[in-house]
A and B are shown apart, each in its own frame.
Chain A
């Protein structure tokens, strides 16, 4: 589904931030992406959701070579990838419902066609009673779950989550992990970037470990 071959990335004329990355993300797979702070996890995630292009090497996403992708094809491809940002990136002037529905709304769909789905998903992530709340009054955990719901509403083939448990207490982190595992069991590939070893120890999964820009894969 996603394939990296000898991928390198540098910002401007600086040293390479990522070096010789070669790995694959298979359909229905589950992996943690880990490594110390500043190892390049967020940069690698940006490469994965097409927000950056590599300075060398090959990235193929859904069998398309990223280097030759025209800009006009990016939105359609991006809709097949769900992203949960570390800082949530919810729009403060929209309700939880509207934030979660955003990926469908930008497709020009009428609210009546997706209302039931969004409500259902909000219930699934445990926000059934926060439908009308605005993000500023949500707790960190609620914001996190709203961000996860927004990433899932378009039924992506792969979910990328950047430190999804960074802002929540351990019991909630455990619940969120169960959510991701359940999602994966139902067919979605999951990549969770985290440096929380406790979280990774709760679920036996493939680990992609970044260290000083290089990647080691532990199956």
Chain B
């Protein structure tokens, strides 16, 4: 041990780069602790679940909007056979009348073959439909549902065409809307619950991870570090941990949706696939879903950082 005082020697020695060190100093908060890794895993899982819920809710909401707009865009005119009246001629008149109505894109009577197709599940194949008093159906596509006066059209049809009635699917649509809205509300409630669970578990996991760092906070405090400096060091570290976990979770959820979308895309021609696509459209979450997932990841990272900051201040208050 040299007996020369370092402070005196310091004055005489110009600052020179000596000694074996050439690497930048290690982080004050250790990068890879077990507690830190556990926190990242908790954050990743919670973010995955939150993103999955958000994706599912977006999917149901988009699908319900699609159903509603599809059904509103199509109405049906039914012409029932009436004794002594040529049903086909009446159906043609109804078609012309509907086609002339403003806001209607097209009107087309279903052919006998299409009628047979519709009835086949109940009546079996090979029947001669012309013998049966089967109503004619006219499919009317609306270009602009708001521009069509359905009440007036219905009144004209009843008045001018024998046996005609208009089915605007309103009862159907209203029920569907109610169901879709209920589904979306339930979805958002679940999303809110998942968010609360995410917030709580992230906060508790962060506090758990911080408890293993209490010694570091104390040492920094005793060597004269400002509270803001200590909080900043931890906040930065935990923001990175949270962001890493959050992005892993969000990426996992996105990947899962892409895979499901791909799988359902492949089975679209099968009856099961048709069922699913009838319910969920293309089974693809839109940009809202992806932006939301990124938002969730960032939000969770911020929560992690803020919790670590608050924990530092609480610990400092307790040891001062």
B71 to chain A, nearest CB (A): 63
Cβ B320 vs Cβ A71 within 8 A: yes
Contact residue among B10, B215, B220, B319 (Cβ-Cβ distance under 8 Å from A120)? B10
| A111 and B24 contact, Cβ closer than 8 Å, known pairs A116-B15, A179-B1 | yes
B57 to chain A, nearest CB (A): 43
Cβ B21 vs Cβ A115 within 8 A: yes
| A186 and B8 contact, Cβ closer than 8 Å, known pairs A75-B224, A93-B30, A119-B18 | yes
Query: Does residue A209 face the partner (Cβ distance < 8 Å to B)?
Result: no
Contact residue among B1, B4, B5, B222 (Cβ-Cβ distance under 8 Å from A51)? B222
**Interface range, A side:** 35 or more
Query: Does residue B223 face the partner (Cβ distance < 8 Å to A)?
Result: yes
C-alpha spacing A196/B219, complex, angstroms? 26
Interface residues of B in 165-183 (CB under 8 A from A): none
Contact residue among B2, B14, B224, B227 (Cβ-Cβ distance under 8 Å from A124)? B2
| A106 and B17 contact, Cβ closer than 8 Å, known pairs A91-B216, A121-B6, A182-B3 | no
Query: Does residue B124 face the partner (Cβ distance < 8 Å to A)?
Result: no
Contact residue among A74, A106, A115 (Cβ-Cβ distance under 8 Å from B229)? A106
Interface SS of chain B: loop
Please choose the segment from A13-21, A36-44, A95-103 that sits at the chain B interface, where 4 or more of its residues have CB less than 8 A away: A95-103
C-alpha spacing A131/B216, complex, angstroms? 20
Interface size counted on chain B using CB atoms at 8 A? 38
Query: Does residue B84 face the partner (Cβ distance < 8 Å to A)?
Result: no
* B287: A residues at CB distance < 8 A: none
Cβ B222 vs Cβ A83 within 8 A: yes
Query: Does residue A5 face the partner (Cβ distance < 8 Å to B)?
Result: no
C-alpha spacing A35/B15, complex, angstroms? 43
Interface residues of B in 142-174 (CB under 8 A from A): none
Cβ B20 vs Cβ A115 within 8 A: no
Query: Does residue A173 face the partner (Cβ distance < 8 Å to B)?
Result: no
| A116 and B222 contact, Cβ closer than 8 Å, known pairs A121-B6, A124-B5, A186-B8 | no
Residue of A with least CB distance to B16: A116
| A115 and B17 contact, Cβ closer than 8 Å, known pairs A91-B216, A124-B6 | yes
Cβ B25 vs Cβ A106 within 8 A: no
* A178: B residues at CB distance < 8 A: 3
Cβ B13 vs Cβ A124 within 8 A: no
C-alpha spacing A111/B227, complex, angstroms? 21
Query: Does residue A94 face the partner (Cβ distance < 8 Å to B)?
Result: yes
Cβ A132 vs Cβ B319 within 8 A: no
Query: Does residue B277 face the partner (Cβ distance < 8 Å to A)?
Result: no
C-alpha spacing A106/B216, complex, angstroms? 12
* A179: B residues at CB distance < 8 A: 1
Cβ B320 vs Cβ A115 within 8 A: no
Query: Does residue A202 face the partner (Cβ distance < 8 Å to B)?
Result: no
Cβ B1 vs Cβ A111 within 8 A: no
Cβ B226 vs Cβ A75 within 8 A: yes
Cβ B25 vs Cβ A101 within 8 A: yes
Query: Does residue B218 face the partner (Cβ distance < 8 Å to A)?
Result: yes
Cβ B8 vs Cβ A120 within 8 A: no
* B1: A residues at CB distance < 8 A: 124-126, 175, 179
Query: Does residue A54 face the partner (Cβ distance < 8 Å to B)?
Result: no
Query: Does residue A197 face the partner (Cβ distance < 8 Å to B)?
Result: no
* A90: B residues at CB distance < 8 A: 219
Cβ A94 vs Cβ B222 within 8 A: no
Query: Does residue B9 face the partner (Cβ distance < 8 Å to A)?
Result: yes
Query: Does residue A49 face the partner (Cβ distance < 8 Å to B)?
Result: yes
Query: Does residue B130 face the partner (Cβ distance < 8 Å to A)?
Result: no
C-alpha spacing A94/B216, complex, angstroms? 11
Cβ A76 vs Cβ B15 within 8 A: no
| Most A CB within 10 A of own CB, among B2, B7, B20, B319 | B7
| A89 and B218 contact, Cβ closer than 8 Å, known pairs A98-B26, A102-B223, A113-B15 | yes
Cβ A124 vs Cβ B4 within 8 A: yes
Could you pull out 13 A-B pairs where Cβ atoms are within 8 angstroms?
A: A89-B215, A91-B28, A91-B216, A93-B26, A94-B25, A102-B219, A106-B226, A111-B21, A115-B21, A116-B17, A119-B18, A123-B6, A132-B21
Q: Which are the 5 A-B pairs with shortest beta-carbon distances?
A: A79-B224, A106-B225, A93-B30, A126-B1, A103-B223
